[in-house]
Structure 1
Amino acid sequence: MEQLFMKQLLGGQDLVIYLAGFVFALIGVAIRLLNGAKKRDKLSKHTPYNFSWKFLVLDNLRDLILGLLMAFILFRFTNVLISAGLQRLIGFDIEGVDKMFYAFLVGTAFTTVSQWFKRLELNAGKHA
């Protein structure tokens, strides 16, 4: 029963593939977050004056976790997404693209989308 559960959960892929994908997703998230950290307001009372890894991780923990979950979903359902015509939607053939590249893209893109939604929420709050 346990093997059947793991097969359904991982879609027949090895756990090692998922772990490697998570590493690439985290690299994508880290690049995006570190790039955003350069633009922070050092004088704000909500951020430390000196760069802090601890603050960066804790302040973006939600995005990190969601990025990993999105990478997992993408890995698990890659074949479904391909057969559903994802390549037509994004404009290029993704069938031969390495799954680790998907993970990197998810990590990079997810934080961008998440930050865009945060700005929308903040702007909506100002106009309410």
Structure 2
Amino acid sequence: PATTIAARTDVPVRRAREVVQRLLRHRRVALWTDVARAKCGRSVQAWFFLQVPARRLAGVAARLARLDEARLVVTTVGTYNLAVCVWMRELADVTRLEARIEDGLEGVRIADRCITLRTAKRAGNLLDAQGRRTVRAS
């Protein structure tokens, strides 16, 4: 809340509220609620590592970020220049999405992929076997 931001930044509450509202309105910041994969019906996490022509990288990244399944889309340096984390309902969906990406994005190659069997830590939180937060990690 604005009161917490105001206290931590030593600004008036009204000013903190206005700044947050402006950031949200102009899409300079986004709110994110994290949930356990199993609780949202998406128990499979996969990573795709793509090779994308440099001139198309920003557009391809933006398009992939709009996928319902996409959790994270980041540009990288190295063998692959784009990494995409997706949450799927079942294992077979991974192959279907992979084909959809390659068929729909000319010149894009999924050079590698992997399935995450278990996530131990996410967003600074240690997770239990069901993907629920146990404690805040330092």
Question: What range describes the TM-score normalised by the shorter chain of this pair?
Answer: under 0.3
- Structure with greater proportional helix content: 1
Relative contact order: is structure 1 or structure 2 higher (C-alpha 8 Å, sep ≥ 6)?
1
The alignment's TM-score, normalised by the length of structure 2, stands at: 0.22
